[in-house]
Amino acid sequence: MSERFSPKVIPLVDARPRPLAVPDTWLEPGSRMTANGLVSDTLGRNLRDLRISVTDRCNFRCNYCMPKEVFDKNYPYLPHASLLSFEEITRIAQQFINHGVQKIRLTGGEPLLRKNIEVLIEKLAALRTLEGQPLDLTLTTNGALLARMAKSLKAAGLQRVTVSLDGLDDAVFRRMNDVDFPVADVLAGIHAARDAGLGPIKINMVVKRGTNDQEILPMLRHFKGSGMVLRFIEYMDVGATNGWRMHDVVPSAEVIQRIRAEMPLLALEPANPGETAQRWGFADAAGTYDRQAGEIGVISSVTQAFCSDCNRARLSTEGRLYLCLFANQGYDLRSLLRREASDADLASAIGHIWSGRADRYSELRGAMAADTGSGARRVEMSYIGG
């Protein structure tokens, strides 16, 4: 067969490799770890942020996350029985809080596809940090269902949302989501979230060269002075199905350069330890920070690693604990839950897992093969959230 008529081959990649078992020795009296809020990993990084994926399904097919060629009608999504229940998620979350977690972000897939998600939010909103304060409870969404759910999410106890929006041009946006979803409906969801009090709202734009980088300045003009924080994210080499190439990355430095050609910016200090985004404020005529105009952020996980103070753990929708967005294996906490392990057992397992953490993929990217050199492919972003 000639090259002209050769069929396109799409690799079938299992995004859910076999999990790592929690060793029984970690639960024995002599090696049991108790939660005191001070656990740190091998690089001295404390555990403060937990991201929980509540579904592996999404109603978009963005090519940098869930390309339609792989995630088609035959893709084997998890059956409902495999998903953690809301009660199981809440029980695990409490043990993470006991280890010092202060922030929980619900992700997916698209988390608003999880039926009765408000019930889970109510349960998590009732939890308190070790200091007796409410959790920083937030959710990342593509915005498709936000217009009709914003009020109920706020009433359930959600504090704020981050909305993924990769451009304002409707044709560009429809091509990127690959399900012909109109940008106007996402903007309506953002406005509904603002009106419901789910703020401050963050808007995440993944920038891919030759696809939507022409939308950088229109997005900037639209959200400047809105009270929302627009963040530009470098197109990342997550998983094995998005066909990532370095050529497609628009470095954050280039994004800032393009913006500065039109309007002045000032570098701002990080708002919180372990923050992924570099903050930039709009400058006024005197060259000082214009708080009314607001700020933007850039997330440079490809060109400028921020592994050194990463304090985030990720829990998959079926209860596997991942220590890095670029990990290839996760620890099976669901088995502990379903064999009626005690809270002390859960706390010990989490403590041992985090204290042994040495992940710093982005810092080592240049010296590592795409499959981490072990033959195991990294987990897909759609499975553990961004």
d(CA 287, CA 54): 44
Q: Cα dist. 312→18, 82, 187 in Å?
A: 22, 24, 29
Residue percentage of the chain with pLDDT more than 90: 76
Residue 373 pLDDT = 41
Residue 11 scores a pLDDT above 50:
no
Residue 370 pLDDT = 43
d(CA 162, CA 89): 21
Residue 372 pLDDT = 42
Q: Cα dist. 249→72, 208, 302, 305, 373 in Å?
A: 26, 6, 8, 14, 23
Running DSSP on this structure, what letter comes out for residue 371? T
- Please provide the DSSP assignment of 292-330 as one string: TT-EEEEE-TTTS--GGG--EEEE-TTSEEESSTT-S--
* Residue bearing the bigger pLDDT, 365 or 180: 180
3 state DSSP class of 205:
strand
- Which contiguous run of DSSP H or E holds residue 381? helix 381-384
Which ranges of 108-263 would DSSP assign to H, the alpha helix?
Answer: 117-125, 146-156, 170-177, 183-196, 216-223, 252-260
**Greatest CA separation found in the chain?**
68
Residue 367 scores a pLDDT above 70:
no
What rounded mean pLDDT belongs to the chain? 89
- The DSSP bridge partners found for residue 320 are 332
**Stretch 148-157: mean pLDDT, rounded?**
98
Q: Report the chain's C-alpha Rg in angstroms.
A: 21
Domains assigned to the chain: 15-384 (3.20.20.70)
CB contact set of 162 (below 8 Å; sequence gap of 6+): 105, 138, 139, 140, 141, 201, 202, 203, 204
* Residue bearing the bigger pLDDT, 185 or 366: 185
φ/ψ of 37, rounded to 5, equals 80, 5
Residue 217 pLDDT = 97
Running DSSP on this structure, what letter comes out for residue 21? P
Residue 371 pLDDT = 43
Do the Cβ atoms of 123 and 91 come closer than 8 Å? no
Q: 223-280: per-residue pLDDT in tens?
A: 999 999 999 999 987 655 556 788 899 999 999 999 999 999 999 998 887 778 999 9
Residue 30 scores a pLDDT above 60:
yes
Q: 61-98: per-residue pLDDT in tens?
A: 998 889 898 899 999 999 999 999 999 999 999 999 99
Residue 135 pLDDT = 97
Do the Cβ atoms of 203 and 156 come closer than 8 Å? no
- The pLDDT-based confidence of 99 (bands split at 50, 70, 90) is very high
Residue 131 pLDDT = 97
- Looking up tokens 């993929």 gives 361
Residue percentage of the chain with pLDDT more than 70: 87
Structure tokens at 25: 């020795």
- The pLDDT-based confidence of 296 (bands split at 50, 70, 90) is very high
Residue 361 pLDDT = 72
- The DSSP bridge partners found for residue 97 are none
